[in-house]
Structure 1
Amino acid sequence: MVLPVIMAGGTGSRLWPLSRQLFPKQFLSLHGDSSMLQNTIKRLANIEHQAPVVICNEEHRFAVAEQLRSAELPYSQILLEPIGRNTAPAIALAAFNAIKQGQNPLLLVLAADHVIKDNDAFTQAIKNAELLANNNKLVTFGIEPTAPEVGYGYIKAKESTDGILAVDKFIEKPNITAARQYLSQGNYFWNSGMFLFKASVFLDELKQHRPDIFTACEAAIATTIQDLSFVRVDKEAFEHCPEDSIDCAVMEKTKNAVVVPMNANWSDIGSWSALWDIEDKDQYGNVSHGDVISIDSTNCYINAQDKLVTTLGLDDIVVVETKDAILISKKSAVQKVKSIVSELKVQKRCEVRLHREVYRPWGKYDSLDHGERFKVKRITVKPGASLSTQMHHHRAEHWIVVKGTAKVINGDNEVFLTENQSTYIPVGNIHALENPGMVDLELIEVQSGCYLAEDDIVRFDDKYGRT
């Protein structure tokens, strides 16, 4: 039986400002109404498989859980990496975890941030690969190239005597001259980063070629902790694990790697121009999302998240607007968005990590305004959800309910507030907020004090394990 392993990591740099470090592109709805993570799992509908395992880091765990819950998608576990160590250790954790549960499934390793427009071709390629994987081959899926793309890695294949395409070598992103040669020769494929193999076969190869990674991951998975729907591994053991990709650690070294071609209209959406490539365009070659008016503009990608965006006389330009940042770039320069992200990190700007609107396991908040000694937020709490019991050393808070009902613990007092009612939380008061109703609770929070950062929270009790 196939066990899908969904790799949901990522740093959110290539599609900034829409993607952020705490909300990278796999959580965005970039192609259709569902997020890329949700589409990845929906894509498995015609494949016989177990409930997927999703691998992500600690910071993304609640975003993953909420996206799976809201779309009513099946999953067996959310496996948490204590620290990013690239794809080889992450897959090793999934393989060890499956074998620990008495299984030896075919692991179908998929990235959560790819677009595949031909689902039938995707399904058929998986089915074509199952026999090979059951015969102890390590299958990688090669995308049949349609252009001399320099943004992808390549796989050179060689046909063996039994007609199977064996891997000759993996090639890093080439220059344009080499990419044109690969396209003309016909035995080169784009490296999709998707794989299928038995858990035990992968671990045997990993033990042979990277015993250090094997040993560290084996130790990390030996002791796991179940926390809600999350599975935590031994952090100290995993921190000793070297960082490496599956390509470098195993696939480039093994003699059992084979390629199964896939012609499924695939893209890893590595830039804003790649998204323009796959989207439907108007008669002027423009792709527009949101409230957009374009005049005398051609071949542009314009994404308006919060405001009216207008363009006049532009060509081959990318414009992406969010509540707190705007990107304007030549389409040919969008591969350099990472340099903007790097500069934001140097300046320690919050826009690199999170949006103005931030999702939490209990709901979300939107930072509306701020000054030297105040901050205003709109807080939304889901029905039945609650914030942690907490206190602040440096700030007081005013809460004004604008929708729904709030159950508030404020020191020794417990009160219920409805629309247009308010309360005041003094500095140092232990307090808690719960939505006991059947509709979303919305309130305006006004913070005041000498220090207003999010780390001024002392949690005493939290249903989401954040104490």
Structure 2
Amino acid sequence: MSGGVGSRLWPLSRTDRPKQFLPLFGGESLFQKTCKRVNHPDFAAPIVIGSNAHRFLIGEQLSELGLEAQSILLEPVGRNTAPPALMAALIAAETDPNALILLLPSDHLIRKEDVFLKAVQQAEEAARAGKIVTFGIQPSEANTGYGYIKVASGSEPVRPVEAFVEKPDQERAEAFLKDGGYVWNAGIFLYAATTMIDAFKQHQPDLYKQIVDVMKTRHGDLDFTRLDQETFEALDNISIDYAIMEKASNVVCAPVAPEWDDLGSWSAIWTVLDKDAQGNSGLGDARFLDSENCLAYAERGLVSVIGLEDVMVIATTDSVLVAHKDKAQDVKTVVEQLKAEGRHEVDRHPRSYRPWGYTERINAGERFSVQSMMIKPSKRLSLQSHLHRAEHWVVVSGTLEITINGETRLLSENQSAYVPLGAQHTLHNPGKIPVRMIEVQSGTYLQEDDIRRHSDTSQTP
């Protein structure tokens, strides 16, 4: 599952590029680490269920790993975790009703993957016997940010669940830790396809029928599978815990300690990063002087932190966050305020992925916008025109084939072209290496919806 936004990791995590797709860990994202976790002979190709808005990120990051998904199912809107749990079961059941499904959120960090995979292996027998196995993380602290599971006492690798508990206050969290019989609810499950289908039929019959109807609307689009938006929007927004886990009698738990973290804030990111002798962590070009236990992230350029303690400095190309680590949870409040003001920094990352590559904003002002573009080898943009803007193109590297009003020619490094307002045009990379170029737009209206497409045979930007 690769939905969610991760607003407490703003300004890096945004609606169009949330935390699971951020390459913060050795150049890989949490989504990629999740895919690699199950890239194993014991697992089939993954079924990815994610947001329609993230489809090109999903495809790009799978391609970077050289992996191919069994299916990439796009949700038109978010409807929590219950629908994906059943949709995955319905897809798997089409080929094998007894297939086992490991339902994994894509935004978790698991540092001891061998420990986790061993727990999955030990839980397989219970899942094949008709149990729904939830994996509980043995707590390392009295954390109030997670739900808890009360597990029956014993030493068996899989044990009965006695209760699901909502996120507690500090006093209850400390009592749970002292008790020793409670684990964090990680939202990771193992079950047979037919087991989950039967659970929905029994405990959520109306939702089951709605989701079956949704799945009947599946249709292909490039490498993705789409669902009818109106039918999907009618689904209840409900978690798998509320829908099934708290009602079913066949739920068991596999306690495990794989050094897991859902990395819900910048302070959580700091805890898992390498640190210098003073406890400082830097990502990108970061420098520390007379500072302790600080985090600095520089997406581009240099960030210097001097004489501070327990401070986070997160600098992207268009926004900077400075906060005390104790206030890490309050980043979400700032995001809500910015959203209420209609600020684009909440939703739009400067880099926007397309099936042919990406664009990245450089600068913008009244009547102009400048962006860099990368076009993958053999990829082509659709034939299009604009009513309110002209464009200038400059090739930085690679060879670009351009067509303007029916005239086709090649541009190489340092060559440029002008596209008049209203001219029909397209771009194509005929070469073996990516084309990198600069586009300057000028005109009275520079929004993305000023576009007329004149061909439906090419890929859509």
The TM-score bracket by the shorter chain reads over 0.9
Distance 1:60 1:238, change over 3 A: same
The C-alpha deviation readout for 1:351-384, integer Å capped at 9, x for no partner, is 1112222222211222112111111111111111
Q: What is the Cα deviation at residue 464 of structure 1?
A: 6.9
Give the match for residue 28 of structure 2: 34
* AA of the residue aligned to 1:294: F
Distance in structure 2 (CA, Å) of the matches to 1:314 and 1:56: 39
SS state at 1:307 partner: strand
1:231 aligns with 2:225: yes
Please list, as runs of the form range in 1=range in 2, the aligned pairs for 1:179-190 lying within 5 A after superposition. 179-190=173-184
Q: 1:137 aligns with which of 121, 128, 131?
A: 131
Q: 1:390 aligns with which of 384, 388, 392?
A: 384
Q: What is the Cα deviation at residue 27 of structure 1?
A: 0.8
Distance 1:46 1:62, change over 3 A: closer
1:93 aligns with 2:71: no
1:170–1:252 Cα contact (<8 Å) kept: yes
Distance in structure 2 (CA, Å) of the matches to 1:407 and 1:46: 41
Distance in structure 1 (CA, Å) of the matches to 2:283 and 2:156: 49
2:291–2:305 Cα contact (<8 Å) kept: yes
1:46–1:123 Cα contact (<8 Å) kept: no
* AA of the residue aligned to 2:80: N
Q: What is the Cα deviation at residue 151 of structure 1?
A: 1.3
Distance in structure 2 (CA, Å) of the matches to 1:462 and 1:91: 35
The C-alpha deviation readout for 1:102-128, integer Å capped at 9, x for no partner, is 543111000111100001101111001
SS state at 2:300 partner: coil
Q: What is the Cα deviation at residue 310 of structure 1?
A: 0.7
* AA of the residue aligned to 2:369: K
SS state at 2:454 partner: strand
User: What's the RMSD between the two structures over aligned residues?
Assistant: 1.8
Distance 1:464 1:125, change over 3 A: farther
* AA of the residue aligned to 2:429: N
Distance in structure 1 (CA, Å) of the matches to 2:103 and 2:194: 14
Distance in structure 2 (CA, Å) of the matches to 1:170 and 1:66: 37
Distance in structure 2 (CA, Å) of the matches to 1:91 and 1:440: 38
Distance in structure 2 (CA, Å) of the matches to 1:100 and 1:163: 31
Give the match for residue 283 of structure 1: 277
Distance 1:117 1:271, change over 3 A: same
Q: 1:149 aligns with which of 138, 143, 152?
A: 143
Give the match for residue 212 of structure 1: 206
Give the match for residue 312 of structure 1: 306
1:294 aligns with 2:288: yes
TM (norm. structure 1) is 0.95
Give the match for residue 44 of structure 1: 38
1:390–1:432 Cα contact (<8 Å) kept: yes
Give the match for residue 400 of structure 2: 406
Please list, as runs of the form range in 1=range in 2, the aligned pairs for 1:148-187 lying within 5 A after superposition. 148-159=142-153, 164-187=158-181
1:379 aligns with 2:373: yes
Distance 1:184 1:165, change over 3 A: same
1:12–1:22 Cα contact (<8 Å) kept: no
Distance in structure 1 (CA, Å) of the matches to 2:149 and 2:59: 34
1:158–1:167 Cα contact (<8 Å) kept: yes
1:47–1:123 Cα contact (<8 Å) kept: no
SS state at 2:213 partner: helix
1:153–1:170 Cα contact (<8 Å) kept: yes
1:160–1:166 Cα contact (<8 Å) kept: no
Distance 1:327 1:251, change over 3 A: same
Distance 1:248 1:464, change over 3 A: farther
TM (norm. structure 2) is 0.96
* AA of the residue aligned to 2:399: T
Q: 1:350 aligns with which of 338, 344, 349?
A: 344
1:63–1:361 Cα contact (<8 Å) kept: no
SS state at 1:414 partner: strand
Distance in structure 2 (CA, Å) of the matches to 1:355 and 1:162: 47
Give the match for residue 53 of structure 2: 59
Distance in structure 2 (CA, Å) of the matches to 1:413 and 1:302: 49
Distance in structure 2 (CA, Å) of the matches to 1:151 and 1:12: 14
Q: What is the Cα deviation at residue 74 of structure 1?
A: 3.5
SS state at 2:188 partner: strand
1:69 aligns with 2:63: yes
Distance in structure 1 (CA, Å) of the matches to 2:40 and 2:357: 33
Distance 1:43 1:260, change over 3 A: same
Distance in structure 2 (CA, Å) of the matches to 1:225 and 1:100: 16
1:361–1:464 Cα contact (<8 Å) kept: no
Give the match for residue 252 of structure 1: 246
Distance in structure 2 (CA, Å) of the matches to 1:367 and 1:337: 24
What is the aligned length? 461
Distance 1:223 1:465, change over 3 A: farther
Distance 1:38 1:416, change over 3 A: same
Q: What is the Cα deviation at residue 33 of structure 1?
A: 2.4
SS state at 1:315 partner: coil
The C-alpha deviation readout for 1:38-80, integer Å capped at 9, x for no partner, is 1112112456011110011111011100100111024211011
Distance 1:363 1:163, change over 3 A: closer
Answer with 89-98 or 139-148: which moved more. Answer: 89-98
SS state at 2:104 partner: strand
Answer with 96-105 or 372-381: which moved more. Answer: 96-105
Q: What is the Cα deviation at residue 241 of structure 1?
A: 1.2
